[in-house]
Amino acid sequence: MERFADWFSEHRKPLAVAVVVVTAVAGFGFSRLRFDDRPRGIFKSNDEAHALLEEVFADFGSDDNDCILVVEADDLFAPKPIAALRELVAEARRIDGVQHVRSMDDAVLFEPAKLPRSLLPARDASAQAFARARSDALDHPLIGGQILSEDGQMTLVIVRLAGDSLGVNEIRPIVTQLRQINARINDSGAVHARLTGIPPARVEIYEMLQREQIKFGLSGALLGILVAYLLFRRAAAVLIVVAAPLTGTLWTLGALGLVGEKLNVINSVLPTLVLVIGFTDAVHLMYDLRRSRRNRLTPQDAARSAIRHLVLACALTSITTAIGFGSLGVGRLEIIRHFGLACAAGTVLSFLAVITIVPLLAGTRLGRRIHVPHGRRSPARHIVLLDAIATSVTRRAAWFAVIGTILTLTLGVSVLRLKPDNSLKEAMPTSN
């Protein structure tokens, strides 16, 4: 590491230019990063089960295009509720992107020696006609107990969207219009309607995902700043420690955007994960830098010393972490494979960012302000505690190595006994 430390010190300006260029390219890639709004990709794999599922979808259509309007009334079979139901169905059919709408208003009854008639009577029909419609609906094999509750107070309106494997951006405007129709029908007071189904749920989930991504990203950065301040109590040290992993996170997200990979419900944790991994390396480097500065080394010499002492150790931890994540690349699901490879790449990029940016910034004027001048203040309590723990471990290194090996082997055997338990249930009988 001595040669690498010297090389780093001799090429500080080219390295700084390289960091700026890479960051600019990453910023461009970040601007191209998008959320994957096609949830079916979560279950995409190369096994026979997925191939069979695709065949079923090709023959009968997908099962995730149905919006469900739940319509309730104390007396559903009365003139006003039936009129409201028909208005709801008619307005839903006029929405662009709706393939068809199904409700009990579509039912036609065939009776011997009589002309076919609609199940639901006209609005000006007699009370006996509405009572007969209620009885006929409950007795109908495709309506009673299916889209009509047994007490006759609740019915379903099924709005099927046109298209296959629709994205959330395609679903959102349709769901918005359905919500508006739903609100207008509720304002009439004749019935109470609610919108549910897979498409509205997906819109809610993905909108929440985008909000949570921003919230967790900001929370992670603020928490990192707080921890860095509690550890180092110097603004310059906090700036250096936080800037490096944040840049590594930007590099990772930029790389995803450049290769066309999208954020989804799985890899949305990647920014926070990469930030934490980079933060740990930055903290180690800063401790070494502060120790060197307390020993009156210049900022450049302190940066060279940190590289010489910690680059190999940080590289080994990053490599093992990247290998662990990379092992997910042999997973069955495509989304898991991509997640593992993205995490492995993020670990490497975060290491490169930290091991470059921290020494570069520490070698500038900021490096003169990362520590409390010698003799001005006694070490903080947490520094004394950490030094005591480190001393205790190094004095008993052999024992800790033996205990760690035994624990690793024991837990490794336990890991081999784990079995995955992942199942999805939909449209199952309530008794199951």
Task: Determine the pLDDT at residue 322.
Answer: 93
> Is residue 120 classed exposed, middle or buried when 0-12, 13-18 and 19+ CB atoms within 10 A define those classes?
buried
| Residue 47 DSSP class | S
> Which token pair is 14?
């080219």
Report the pLDDT value the prediction gives residue 253, as an integer from 0 to 100. 93
Q: Which residues pair with 193 in a beta bridge?
A: 71
Handedness of CA 229, 234, 239, 241 (dihedral sign): negative
Sign (positive or negative) of CA dihedral 74, 78, 84, 87: positive
Whether 68 contacts 196, CB under 8 Å: yes
pLDDT of amino acid 432: 47
Residue 114 has a pLDDT of 76
Task: Return the half-sphere exposure (C-beta side, CA atoms, 13 A cut-off) of residue 77.
Answer: 21
Q: Tell me how far CA of residue 156 lies from CA of 27, 149, 159, 162, 193, in angstroms.
A: 48, 9, 10, 19, 9
d(CA 307, CA 327): 29
CB atoms within 10 A of CB 28: 12
Q: CA 339 to CA 269: how far, in whole Å?
A: 10
Tally of CB atoms within 10 A around 287: 19
For 269: left if phi > 0, alpha if psi spans -120 to 50, otherwise beta; the answer is: alpha
Q: Residue with structure tokens 């993205």?
A: 342
Q: Specify the pLDDT at position 431.
A: 53
pLDDT in the model for residue 430: 52
Q: Are 170 and 163 in contact (CB under 8 A)?
A: yes
Q: What is the largest CA-CA distance in the chain?
A: 108
pLDDT on residue 412 = 84
Q: What is the pLDDT of residue 428?
A: 46
Query: Which positions of the chain have pLDDT values less than 70?
Result: 39-47, 49-50, 61, 63, 372-384, 386, 420-432
Q: Rounded to an integer, what distance in angstroms lies between the CA atom of residue 48 and that of residue 121? A: 49
Contact yes or no for 233/380 (Cβ under 8 A): yes
pTM score over 0.75: no
Structure tokens at 386: 């950490």
62 neighbors 164 (Cβ within 8 angstroms): yes
d(CA 370, CA 237): 5
